[in-house]
Amino acid sequence: MNRYMGRWRARTVTVLLTVLLLTPAAHADTVIVAVAANFTKVAEQLAPLFKAETGHDVTYSFGATGQLYTQISQGAPFEVFLAADDERPTRAVTDGFAVDGTVFTYAIGALALYSTTLDLSDGAAVLQGGDFEKLAIADPATAPYGLAAVETIAKLGLTDAIAPKLVTGENITQTLQFIESANAELGFVAASQVVGKSNVWLVPAADYQPIRQDAVLLKTGADSEAAKAYVAFLKSQAALAVIKAAGYGVE
Amino acid sequence: MSLGDIWTPVSLTLSLATVNTLILLLIGTPIAWWLARSKNRYRELVGAIVSMPLVLPPTVLGFYLLIALGPNGPGGWIASLWGGRTLAFSFTGLVIGSIFYSLPFMVQPLRNGFTAIGTDALEVASSLGASNWQRFWRVALPLARPGYITGAIMTFAHTVGEFGVVLMIGGNIPGQTKVIAIALYDYVERLQWAQAHIIALGMVVFAFVVIAITLTIDRRINVPMP
């Protein structure tokens, strides 16, 4: 009796294990997407829609575009790359990390000046007044919003005046966090990060180079149904509506 | 590529480590002395609190420090004394963060050093009429010298290698808060491998020298004192 039970149990376990191992592979896949930090909120909103539409799951890795690109160049397992610029996705193709002909613009970013304490109804005047101790930006070398911030400051002729007051976040989310924690009185972030907040000054689009955010299918995801589905989903009307509502322009 | 760009974070890091080591020698001595000699029943509780940074992720410290140093925390109050708003993003802020972060690296070797003295030498000293002050300066301090050397080296080295805490409270300001580990991180992010290699190799050599010195001293500690 005991021996019979034992054998029966072992067989059940084997069957269960086989079922467990095979089920996920048979139906839904998971796509791993590297996402520029400014797109964090929207990407998270898109995940359940993507799941509902295609049945696939998505895992995100957030970071500064440059940081993500370095990781991709060193073999990170990302399958789709949503950059915050239009330079690195193209470079990924030339450097042989991405699939040729899959680069497209998924969003056009807008720069905003944001504060938790200062009245920014005329942001340019506040910047020129200089009555603040710290101004936060993202690292201009790796984060396009940081570069746009530097361009805006230069356009206002304040580069030298503001330089000693600059603090640099590793990426645009840390920049926002410096402002939210009130350690910096104000700072340049992505408009999408501060939708619905007060004390936001939308920087005139003419003051900085347009922030075209390109996406690309990486070679690691070239054969993945889920990865290709994610790229197609980003171009769908449903996704575009979410992206637009979040404060981005779309093409 | 200019070496000046690399030298700025290096010299900043060395001054941070020096200042931090000196301050911790002052703070660490009474704490370690008390931990080594007190019979208080809360002794191990205090010991545990002092040692917590060994186990805590630097991000936990960084998070609390960011709030504590900011305008709504005690750091903001201190900064307001000279008209500032926050201690984050400043050299002072990094020193405060490093004190917490490196505290166990100073206190532990000092405590071991003081414990190793035992009670005999100190009792002889007092029977010869030495005051408490003289017992500390003339007897305890020289005998605990290996502990001081190890503590100072470990604290200095640990501060040089600081990354997580600084990443969270530093704001990456060249010459003020951009320390060597952050500079390396930035170079890697920007694909500037040459500069990254220089810093990384320098750190490897530095770490080897530090460990080698510490091991040598440890062996000397284990040799019975004459």
Domain ranges of chain B: 3-222
Do residues A150 and A137 lie in contact, with contact meaning Cβ atoms separated by under 8 Å? yes
What is the per-residue pLDDT for A179?
95
In this structure, the strands spanning A80-82 and A30-36 are parallel
CA distances (Å), A138 to each of A91, A149, B38, B118, in order?
21, 8, 50, 55
Do residues B77 and B69 lie in contact, with contact meaning Cβ atoms separated by under 8 Å? no
The distance of Cα A219 from the centroid of its chain, to the nearest Å, equals: 19
- A-B CB pairs within 8 A amount to 61
| CATH architecture of the domain with range B3-222 | Orthogonal Bundle (1.10)
What is the per-residue pLDDT for A13?
61
What is the per-residue pLDDT for A19?
55
- Residue B20 buriedness (CB in 10 A; 0-12 / 13-18 / 19+): buried
Instruction: Summarize the confidence of residues A193-212 as an average pLDDT.
Output: 93
- Measured from the Cβ of residue A171, the count of other Cβ atoms closer than 10 Å reads 28
Least confident window among A179-183, A234-238, B32-36, B135-139: B135-139
Sign of the torsion angle spanned by Cα atoms B155, B160, B166, B170: positive
SS3 (DSSP) at B140 = helix
Q: B195 versus B4: which is more confidently predicted?
A: B195
Q: How far apart are the first and last CA of chain A?
A: 71
- Tell me the CATH class for A2-108+212-245: alpha beta
**What percent of chain A is modeled with pLDDT above 90?**
75
Do residues A180 and A117 lie in contact, with contact meaning Cβ atoms separated by under 8 Å? no
Residue B225 has pLDDT above 60, yes or no: no
* Torsion angle (degrees, nearest 10) of CA A92, A95, A97, A102: 50
Q: Which residues of B touch A139 (CB under 8 A)?
A: 172, 186, 189
Sequence-distant (≥ 6) Cβ neighbours of residue B38 within 8 angstroms: none
CA distances (Å), A29 to each of A43, A58, A230, B38, in order?
18, 8, 11, 61
Instruction: Check CB contact under 8 Å for A134 and B72.
Output: no
What is the per-residue pLDDT for B226?
44
Which pair of structure tokens corresponds to residue B118? Answer: 């035992």
Residues A84-142 have pLDDT tens digits of 999 999 999 999 999 999 999 999 999 999 999 999 999 999 999 999 999 999 999 88
State the residue for tokens 């080296």: B153
Distance CA B190, CA A142 (A): 7
Residue A148 has pLDDT above 60, yes or no: yes
Distance CA B200, CA B180 (A): 9
What is the per-residue pLDDT for A27?
55
Label residue B60 by pLDDT band (50, 70, 90). Answer: very high
Q: Which residues of A touch B188 (CB under 8 A)?
A: 70
What is the per-residue pLDDT for B197?
94
Element (H, E) at B29: helix B3-37
Within this chain, domains A2-108+212-245 and A111-202 share the same CATH topology? yes
Residue B220 has pLDDT above 90, yes or no: no
Label residue A33 by pLDDT band (50, 70, 90). Answer: very high
Do residues A226 and A54 lie in contact, with contact meaning Cβ atoms separated by under 8 Å? yes
Tell me which residue of A140, A168, A174, A177 sits closest to B178, measured CA to CA: A168
- Residue among A65, A87, A183 with most chain B CBs within 10 A, to mutate: A183
Domain ranges of chain A: 2-108+212-245, 111-202
- Amino acid identity of residue B26, one-letter, is L
What ipTM does this complex have? 0.71
Which pair of structure tokens corresponds to residue B183? Answer: 């500079």
Closest chain B C-alpha to A203 CA, distance in angstroms:
23
- Amino acid identity of residue A168, one-letter, is T
Residues B106-117 have pLDDT tens digits of 999 999 999 988
- Residue among B77, B86, B166 with most chain A CBs within 10 A, to mutate: B86
- Measured from the Cβ of residue B205, the count of other Cβ atoms closer than 10 Å reads 10
What is the per-residue pLDDT for A5?
54
Q: B219 versus B198: which is more confidently predicted?
A: B198
Select from B89, B167, B173 the Cβ nearest to the Cβ of A183.
B89
Please state, rounded to an integer, the average pLDDT across all residues of chain A. 90
**Chain B CB within 8 Å of residue A166 CB:** yes
Select from A139, A167, A183 the Cβ nearest to the Cβ of B70.
A183
Do residues B178 and B9 lie in contact, with contact meaning Cβ atoms separated by under 8 Å? yes
| CATH architecture of the domain with range A111-202 | 3-Layer(aba) Sandwich (3.40)
pTM of the model: 0.77
Residue B223 has pLDDT above 60, yes or no: no
Helices (H), A27-143: 40-54, 65-73, 88-94, 123-129
C-alpha R_g of chain A: 22
Instruction: Summarize the confidence of residues A212-225 as an average pLDDT.
Output: 96
Instruction: Check CB contact under 8 Å for A142 and B189.
Output: yes
Report the DSSP beta bridge partners of residue A215. A82, A104
Select from A142, A169, A182 the Cβ nearest to the Cβ of B72.
A182
State the residue for tokens 């470079």: A91
- Residue A2 buriedness (CB in 10 A; 0-12 / 13-18 / 19+): exposed
Sequence-distant (≥ 6) Cβ neighbours of residue A84 within 8 angstroms: A36, A37, A38, A39, A64, A65, A109, A143, A144, A145, A172, A211, A213
